Amino acid sequence: MPQRNTNQVARIAAILGLAAAFLLVVITIATSGGDSSDGGGNDTTQVQGKGPTAKGRQAVENGVWIVHEGDTLTQISEQTGIDIDDLVDLNPDADPQALISGQRIALR
């Protein structure tokens, strides 16, 4: 008979441990501060109050941005003042996760 109680206690402990682990994962995800937008830095927010840079204004006038090493669509959006969604719409063939140095990004 004591063997049966030990099994029940172990089963209850296992269920409580599983529930605690699940709760810990949920809390970790909820407090991570990240969102599910394209991982890798495809953030759709723009810095408020900042306008296009001189380089960005020139690129807008020319209608094209030449990608440099390390450029992202978010950075291009911030420097040109063009919404990131508009950049994606204007460049359907461009992979936002893998911009290539020398690649041309249409701005209009």
Q: Return the CATH fold of 54-106.
A: Membrane-bound Lytic Murein Transglycosylase D; Chain A (3.10.350)
pLDDT tens string 36-53:
444 444 443 344 446 778
In sequence order, which ranges of the chain are alpha helices (DSSP H)? 2-31, 54-62, 73-80, 84-90
Which residue, 57, 78, 70, 80, is CA-closest to 100? 70
Which of 34-43, 44-53, 58-67, 72-81 shows the lowest mean pLDDT across its residues? Answer: 34-43
Q: Domain coordinates of the chain in residue numbers?
A: 1-33, 54-106
Mean pLDDT value of segment 18-25 = 91
Q: What is the torsion angle, in degrees rounded to the nearest 10, for the CA atoms of residue 11, residue 16, residue 19 and residue 21?
A: -100
Q: When comparing pLDDT for 10 and 46, which is higher?
A: 10
Mean pLDDT value of segment 13-25 = 92
| pTM for the predicted model, two decimal places | 0.50
